Amino acid sequence: MAEQKIPQVTAKRLPLYYRYLEKLHAIGKQRVSSSDLSDALQIDPATIRRDFSYLGELGKKGYGYNVTYLLQFLRDFLKQDEVTNVVLIGVGNLGTALLRYNFYRSHNTKLVAGFDQDPRKVGTDIDGIPVYSMDRLKEVIALHHVEVAILTVPVNVAQATADFLFEAGIRGILNFTPARLTAPPTVRIHNIDLTIELQTLIYFLKNFPDDENVEVSDEKE
């Protein structure tokens, strides 16, 4: 399979397609058109066709897509069969909620441990996921072959914690802190700043109140 680089906005939609195709497959449906997918997922049909075009020749005009084939293709592409172990750093309110959230519907990611420096939390577990002290990080991530961490520490210790993670071998961080982290070039940081997500929604509501609902607004870029 050619590993062509696809845009991040497309990459984000592939798991959506995958989940919906799983449902269609489960009820025995054999074909699906881009307009069926569009109705179910609230994504423009042209966007769907463009997304699929990055993946190669997947459908025939007027026929639609073969559900089983597309599902297998996406499974390989998304490497859904490989489980990725993930740790979470900072077991506060948001961290605890994310440990419980458990990234459901995702068969290919597993939260294996939480870390916190509060001795009252160390040794407990959140819905079966153990909480360790930070000084055991290297040992635990070596044991579980972890390269990805979710960061939910207070903002004032975010950079120091991230530096410690890089040092321990973490290569990807899902950063929920508002800090803009400095990282080695080989590390990938993905920021989710909840305040900014809320402000952006409000910004568009206030400034473009009569705009049509555009769900995947990055398309506008």
In order of 42, 89, 108, the CA distances from 20 in angstroms are 12, 32, 16
For helices 8-26 and 45-55, what crossing angle results, to 10°?
A: 100
Residue 93 annotated as part of some ligand binding site: yes
Q: Which two tokens stand for residue 195?
A: 């305040």
Closest to its own copies by CB, 62 or 128: 128
Closest to its own copies by CB, 135 or 167: 167
Kindly report the length of the chain. 221
Cα–Cα distance between 24 and 112 in angstroms, integer?
Answer: 31
Residue 91 annotated as part of some ligand binding site: yes
- Rounded least distance, CB 135 to its own copies, Å: 25
> In which residue are the tokens 């409000």 written?
202
Residue 169 annotated as part of some ligand binding site: no
- Rounded least distance, CB 63 to its own copies, Å: 25
Residue 95 annotated as part of some ligand binding site: yes
Closest to its own copies by CB, 60 or 79: 79
- Rounded least distance, CB 49 to its own copies, Å: 16
Cα–Cα distance between 21 and 15 in angstroms, integer?
Answer: 10
Q: What is the DSSP string of 198-213?
A: HHHHHHHHHH-TT---
Closest to its own copies by CB, 70 or 170: 170
- Rounded least distance, CB 40 to its own copies, Å: 7
| Binding-site residues for NAD(+) | 90-95
| Binding-site residues | 90-95
